[in-house]
Structure 1
Amino acid sequence: MLFLTLFYVAIIVEAMTAALSAGRRRMDWVGVCLLACATALGGGSTRDVLLGHYPLPWVAHPHYLVVVVAAAIATIILARFLDRLKTLFLLLDALGLVVFSIIGCNVALEMGQPVLIVIVAGMITGCTGGVIRDILCNEVPLLFRGELYASVSIVAGVIYVGGLHLGLMHEVVVLVTIALGFTLRALAILRKWQMPSFVYNKDWH
């Protein structure tokens, strides 16, 4: 029950952050809703297409679309108030990243995939929605801007899979993974931790 609740929180937050991004690009209401759906459900859909896992989440559970669109419309209505909650949204997004990563790992594990693919599936689920959002908004994806984002997803996946291989209770593994993954991402946001950047300015001509 806790896990399902966290999943709904994650897709709602992703939908709302996407709606705010769409608003900054002056998209119409249809564009806002489409961007919200692509962001909130795009990671899971991409994972399932790559792994051949069907039906896609929103096809198997159409009410996910209703929840995401409702969150996007609510954001349009409440936008003037939500903009003041930027830090809260970033922290909730951090929670969503970890929850999505666990879900992605779970799907791959149920399919019997090897550990490396399980970790990658978690990262795809956690990060791809944000990449789609940023690309459609003509921005450099957060994933490629030095932020501790994909690395947090990978760490969360390793903790989750490692805990299961140690034979720990599933609920305990989930809670520990969420706690550690969220803490790492939150610290990265608050302390502005970043990955080293590659800079190459040499002229070839």
Structure 2
Amino acid sequence: MELQVLYIIAIVAEAMTAALAAGRRDMDWVGVAMLGCVTALGGGSTRDILLGHYPLSWVAHPSYLLITSGAALLTVFLAGFIHHLRRVFLFLDAVGLVVFTVIGCKVALGLGLPPLIVIVSGMITGCIGGVLRDILCADVPLLFRSELYASVSVVTGGLYVGGLALGLDATAVMVAALVCGLALRLAALKFRWNMPTFHYTRDWH
């Protein structure tokens, strides 16, 4: 139940941040709503399609579409105030990343898939929604920039899968993975930890 509550909070936050991205690209209200849904639900949908896990979450629970599109449209009216809540949204985005990751791992584990695929499924769930948002907004996806983002998802998934493999209590493992992943993401934001980047400027011709 707690994970479900965190999931709802996470998709609302993701939809609202997507709406702000849509506003920066001067999208109409349909675009705002669609981008909110794609960002919040796209990672889980991509995972389910790749794993053949049906029905998709928003097909099984159409209310998710209403929640995410509604949150995105609400942002249109609150945009002038929301910029004061930047830190709150960064925190909620970090929560969403680790919650989506654990949910993705749980789905893959339920399908009996090997550990590596379970961790990758968690990363897809946590990160691909943001990638789709950035692509639709013609931005370089955050996943491919130097921020610690995908790596946080991998660490969270690895801790979750590893703890379960050791036979530890499932609830305790889930909480520990969520807390550690969240702490790592917040620390990366605070201290500006980045992954090494690759720079290549030489012309091939």
Paired residue for 1:176? 176
Question: Structure 2 matches for 1:38-187, cutoff 5 A?
Answer: 38-187=38-187
Letter of the aligned partner of 1:38 in structure 2? V
CA distance in 2, matches of 1:79, 1:175: 33
Using the TM superposition, give the Cα deviation of residue 204 of structure 1 relative to its aligned residue in structure 2, in angstroms.
2.2
Work out the number of aligned pairs and report it: 205
Letter of the aligned partner of 1:53 in structure 2? H
Letter of the aligned partner of 2:69 in structure 1? V
CA distance in 1, matches of 2:92, 2:80: 19
- Do residues 8 (structure 1) and 8 (structure 2) align? yes
Using the size of structure 2 for normalisation, the TM-score is: 0.98
CA distance in 1, matches of 2:12, 2:203: 46
The two structures, once aligned, show a CA RMSD in angstroms of 0.8
Question: Which ranges in structure 1 are unaligned for 5 or more consecutive residues?
Answer: none
Using the TM superposition, give the Cα deviation of residue 10 of structure 1 relative to its aligned residue in structure 2, in angstroms.
0.8
Letter of the aligned partner of 1:153 in structure 2? S
After TM superposition, what 4+ stretches of structure 1 lie above 2 angstroms from structure 2? none
Paired residue for 2:188? 188
Letter of the aligned partner of 1:102 in structure 2? V
CA distance in 2, matches of 1:152, 1:6: 18
SS of equivalent residue, structure 2 residue 147: coil
Deviations 1:88-130 (A, max 9, x none): 2111101100000000000000000011100000000000000
SS of equivalent residue, structure 2 residue 132: helix
Using the TM superposition, give the Cα deviation of residue 77 of structure 1 relative to its aligned residue in structure 2, in angstroms.
1.1
CA distance in 2, matches of 1:187, 1:93: 14
Paired residue for 1:17? 17
Using the TM superposition, give the Cα deviation of residue 160 of structure 1 relative to its aligned residue in structure 2, in angstroms.
0.5
CA distance in 1, matches of 2:174, 2:67: 24
Using the size of structure 1 for normalisation, the TM-score is: 0.98
CA distance in 2, matches of 1:88, 1:189: 13
CA distance in 2, matches of 1:63, 1:120: 27
